[in-house]
Amino acid sequence: MRRAARVVLLDLDGTLLDTVHDLSFAANRMRARLGMPSLDESTIRGFIGNGIGVLVDRVLVGARDGEVPPPDLRSRALAIYEEEYAAALTRSSVCFPGVREGVSAMRASGLRLACVTNKAERFTLPLLQHAGLMPFLDLVVSGDSLPRKKPDPLPLLHASAELGATLDDTILVGDSENDAQAAHAAPCRFIAVDYGYRHGGDVASLKADWVVASLADAAALIENSASSTH
């Protein structure tokens, strides 16, 4: 590492929390209310990562890249989805293995932590509270906190500055192409977790500085790298 990290930015869906079951449940509830057949969870998993608006578009057309739904249908579907997801928010979403150990170790080593996600704040904060992660975080930047979200680097720049760091002091931990693009654009160092929601892509495609199997491994990597700078 170029210098010891001071700030770690953490993605939410696919990095801290496994939320796919509740996202998929809400998506299929939405489709049912619109008179549409359900989709496989594995299909919906590939639609996650760009915020709820894009997720709804993809669920409506049944494809990651394709036609845009008619505005009236999209508006109706989005309202239904938000209602269903709010009801299912903490139904089965859980921390990935190693997350609590990882954030605890990071805080114990003096790092400042922020969650930077494309999920809207009204869903982000209850999820973090339910998971017991809020006490570890100094800052939460949600998808509607700023004018632009990942893969734009603005949320990373904002979080780093808010926590009194420079980009050389900052590391992003995430699972997706959105995270990778934001980190490369900022630029800041990027640790990719080898699980999460990558739309079927290989983790090597993210061109991360490091790849880890858990947040606990990320904490150990950061701690060991910091020790080697002294």
Task: Catalogue the active-site residues.
Answer: 11
How far is Cα 54 from Cα 74, in angstroms, rounded to an integer? 10
Question: For 156, how many CA atoms within 13 A lie in the half-sphere containing its CB?
Answer: 30
Q: In the 8-state DSSP scheme, what is residue 45?
A: H
How far is Cα 46 from Cα 99, in angstroms, rounded to an integer? 22
Omega of the bond prior to 70 within 30 degrees of 0, cis? Answer: no
Helix (H, G, I), strand (E, B), or coil: what is residue 18?
A: strand
